[in-house]
Amino acid sequence: MKNIIVNPNSITINKTGSWRVFKPKTNFKKCVSCGMCAKICPENCIKMIKKSSILKPKTDYNYCKGCGMCAVECRVHAIEMRIDKDI
């Protein structure tokens, strides 16, 4: 069982390939700045940044895998998974 997880959170080192089908889109008018999306993201690619003196989520799409956990956990439904048109 030793070394099963070699380097947790190493995903932010590896960029997402062209295989991603969905990506999250945040509606900032609905967002209540709770930060749950940033906490739940397994890829650690959502950061809370100051926007108009309020913290809002910013997704780094270079590393987002499109898993949708942020959208599922958003209690106000401010995050919607959309088809990634870049593929």
Instruction: Render the burial of 21-46: b for 16+ CB within 10 Å, e for the rest.
Output: ebbbebeeeebeebebbbeebebebb
- pLDDT tens-digit series, residues 9-23: 555 567 777 778 999
- pLDDT tens-digit series, residues 16-50: 777 789 999 999 999 999 999 999 999 999 999 99
Q: Which domains does the chain have, with CATH numbers?
A: 20-83 (3.30.70.20)
Please give the torsion angle defined by the CA atoms of residues 45, 54, 71 and 58, in that order, rounded to the nearest 10 degrees. Answer: -30
pLDDT exceeds cutoff 60 at 77:
yes
Output the pTM of the full model: 0.78
**Mapping DSSP to helix (H, G, I), strand (E, B) and coil, where does residue 10 land?**
helix
